[in-house]
Amino acid sequence: MKKFFQLQRGAWLEFGLATILMIVNIVLTLTFPYFTKHKAYYDSAAYIAVLFGSFVIYVFSLFWTKKKSTNDIAVVLYGFFILWEVSYKLGWVHNDLLIPSPEGLFHVFVEKGPEIGKDVWGSIQLLFWGFLLAAVFGTLLGLLAGWIPRVREVLLPISNVITLIPPLMFSAYMIMILSTFRQAAIAVIFFAVFWPTFQGTVVRVGQIDPSITQAARTMGVGTLGMLGKVIFPYCLPGIIGSISKSLRGAFMCLAGAEMLGINLGIGFFIEKYKSFADYRCVLAGIVTVGFITTVIDLAVNKLKAALIRWEN
């Protein structure tokens, strides 16, 4: 426990600076009055909760990782919040509609919390099925094409053409040929993930050391055994490593597809409130997307570290 709280002197100084900036944020929020021209007033409880919550995460991350960049991120973040708060309350920002106060932005999560939660859950469900199908079939077909030259010579040129087409361009067509918007959104995610996964797996199979496959052949390993027991374990670290990037891209495509007509999801939430010119909610939706993609990235990195222990 004593070692957990040990930091270098410079790190302690930066930690003190970040702490002071966080406290200044709270004092400004609670005591600094709104500029008289601003007509929108919001409860500051949600914003203060965000400041405290982010500070707890920052402190834990700093003492756990001992990274100097953690202090830098905290200083920049709290400095930005101070500038935002001061700019708004001094009247440097006059357009409440387009640029809300920090209190106004984070109060959306109090006002629309159940709706945001429902839309996020809907997006995650669509993302799960689209990504799962694409990852499984893309990996299986990639292993097959990477190992069998004739299959590779047929499918690789096709994939090179299709991957140049933005997945969202398929969305309008998918909406017409599939029975529901939900199926269309899953199809868009599938296209966003399937072909890059297929190509990446083919490349990884081509990078395997020939001596490994030759040794397996001398032991009488057949095609299925080679793919399942030799090639797939060899490619697994690279496959898991690419999941984070694929998930981020899939989520961006999902949010775009949801804006085209599906009545559930965080993309639908953003599009709906954009049509109402409620840009507080639009910005809250964008913040939610950023939070989700960050959580996904951290979760995938933890999964990789847990499953691929021989690379750590």
Q: Which of 111, 144, 178 lies at the terminal end of a domain, its last residue?
A: 111
Q: Are residues 73 and 129 in the same domain?
A: no
Token pair 């949801």 is found at: 258
CATH number of the domain within which 276 lies? 1.10.3720.10
Give the pLDDT score at 306.
72
CB 46 within 8 Å of CB 103: yes
pLDDT tens-digit readout, 50-82 = 999 999 999 888 888 778 888 889 999 999 999
CB 85 within 8 Å of CB 32: yes
Q: Are residues 37 and 85 in the same domain?
A: yes
pLDDT beyond 90 at 21:
yes
Q: Are residues 53 and 198 in the same domain?
A: no
C-alpha span between 40 and 260 (Å, rounded): 31
Average pLDDT of every residue of the chain: 83
Q: Are residues 225 and 264 in the same domain?
A: yes
CB 156 within 8 Å of CB 214: no
25 pLDDT band (50/70/90 cuts)?
very high
Q: Which pTM does this prediction carry?
A: 0.81
CB 300 within 8 Å of CB 247: yes
By three-state DSSP, how is residue 98 classified?
A: coil
Q: Are residues 223 and 255 in the same domain?
A: yes
* Cβ-based neighbour number of residue 301 at 10 Å: 14
Within 8 A by CB and 6+ apart from 246, the residues are 131, 135, 192, 193, 196, 197
Give the pLDDT score at 294.
84
Q: Are residues 41 and 105 in the same domain?
A: yes
C-alpha span between 254 and 271 (Å, rounded): 13
* Cβ-based neighbour number of residue 164 at 10 Å: 8
Q: Which of 73, 95, 111 lies at the terminal end of a domain, its last residue?
A: 111
pLDDT tens-digit readout, 219-273 = 777 777 777 778 888 887 777 777 777 777 787 777 777 766 667 788 888 888 8
* Cβ-based neighbour number of residue 33 at 10 Å: 7
Determine the average pLDDT of the residues in 147-165. 86
How many distinct structural domains can be found in the chain? 2
CA angle 142, 140, 136 (to 5 degrees): 115
Give the pLDDT score at 4.
53
Determine the average pLDDT of the residues in 88-95. 80
Q: Are residues 105 and 127 in the same domain?
A: no
Q: Are residues 144 and 274 in the same domain?
A: yes
> What range defines the domain where residue 62 resides?
3-111
Q: Which of 45, 77, 111 lies at the terminal end of a domain, its last residue?
A: 111
H helix count then E strand count, the chain: 13, 0
Q: Are residues 77 and 131 in the same domain?
A: no
* Measured CA distances, 221 to 39, 71, 207, 217, 226 (Å): 75, 53, 19, 5, 6
Q: Are residues 125 and 105 in the same domain?
A: no
* Cβ-based neighbour number of residue 135 at 10 Å: 21
C-alpha span between 42 and 37 (Å, rounded): 15
Q: Are residues 162 and 107 in the same domain?
A: no
C-alpha span between 213 and 300 (Å, rounded): 29
pLDDT tens-digit readout, 179-204 = 777 888 888 888 888 888 888 888 88
Q: Are residues 9 and 146 in the same domain?
A: no
